[in-house]
Amino acid sequence: MSHPFPATANATRVAPPLEAARAYPVKPSDVFLFGTCVIDVFFPGAGMDAIRLLEREGITVHFPQAQSCCGQPAYTSGYTDEARAVARAQIALFAGEWPVVVPSGSCAGMFRHHYFELFKDEPQTLKQVESLAERTFELAEFLLEVCRVRLEHTGSPVRVALHTSCSARREMNTHVHGRALLKQLAGVERVDHDHESECCGFGGAFSVRMPDISGAMVKDKTAALKGSGAAEVVSADCGCLLNINGCFEKQGDTLRGEHLASFLLRRTSPAAEGGAR
> Of residues 79-98, which lie at the interface with another protein (CB under 8 A)?
79-80, 82, 85-86, 88-89
Q: Which is nearer to another protein, 35 or 178 (CB)?
A: 35
Among the listed residues 65, 97, 121, 272, the single contact to another protein using CB under 8 A = 65
CA distances from 247 to 34, 157, 214, 263, 266 (A): 27, 26, 11, 20, 24
Q: Which is nearer to another protein, 9 or 272 (CB)?
A: 9
> Of residues 111-140, which lie at the interface with another protein (CB under 8 A)?
117
* Among 175, 231, 230, residue whose Cα is nearest residue 198: 175
> Of residues 137-156, which lie at the interface with another protein (CB under 8 A)?
none
> Of residues 170-199, which lie at the interface with another protein (CB under 8 A)?
170-171, 197-199
Residue 31, classed as helix, strand or coil, is strand
Q: Check binding of 56 to another protein (CB under 8 A).
A: no
Alpha-carbon span 156 to 179, nearest angstrom: 19
In this chain, which stretch among 8-16, 19-27, 182-190, 227-235 interacts with another protein, using CB under 8 A? Answer: 8-16
Q: Which is nearer to another protein, 217 or 264 (CB)?
A: 217
Alpha-carbon span 89 to 180, nearest angstrom: 34
Bridge pairing between strands 232-235 and 158-163: parallel
b/e sequence 118-127, b meaning 16+ C-beta within 10 Å: bbeeeeebbe
CB of 255 to another protein, least distance (A): 13
The residues pairing with 234 across neighbouring beta strands, listed in sequence order, are: 162, 258
Q: Check binding of 203 to another protein (CB under 8 A).
A: yes
Among the listed residues 166, 172, 234, 265, the single contact to another protein using CB under 8 A = 166
